[in-house]
Amino acid sequence: MRVVLVLATAGLLAGSLSAARAGEWCGFLDKDHAPVHCGYSSLNQCQQALLDQKGAYCMPSPDFAQTKTVRRRG
């Protein structure tokens, strides 16, 4: 259940940001008490860093996402 919530949140955040202008990304493992590592400059960099980790995910940094304004098409 936790994984679904995190993936849904990450999907919404990723959809509101373009990968080219993403800024900072975070990576984490889907395990209890696993640390979240942020500071990746691109989604690709995050994915490459977590490539060998089973159950690893990348998402936009919550701090970065809160500072961006999303334009909605009318």
The pLDDT of residue 74 is above 70: no
Structure confidence by residue, pLDDT tens digits, 49-71 = 999 888 899 999 887 766 666 56
pLDDT grade for 48, boundaries at 50, 70 and 90: very high
In the chain, how many domains are there? 1
Strand order in the sheet with 56-60: 36-40, 25-29, 56-60
36 in a domain, yes or no? yes
73 in a domain, yes or no? no
74 in a domain, yes or no? no
CA distance 58 to 36: 10
Query: Of 31, 66, 60, nearest to 45 (Cα)?
Result: 60
pTM, two decimals, is: 0.54
56 in a domain, yes or no? yes
26 in a domain, yes or no? yes
33 in a domain, yes or no? yes
57 in a domain, yes or no? yes
- Structural domain harbouring 44: 2-67
59 in a domain, yes or no? yes
| Per-residue pLDDT at 69 | 60
Structure confidence by residue, pLDDT tens digits, 4-47 = 444 445 554 454 444 444 459 999 998 888 888 999 999 999 99
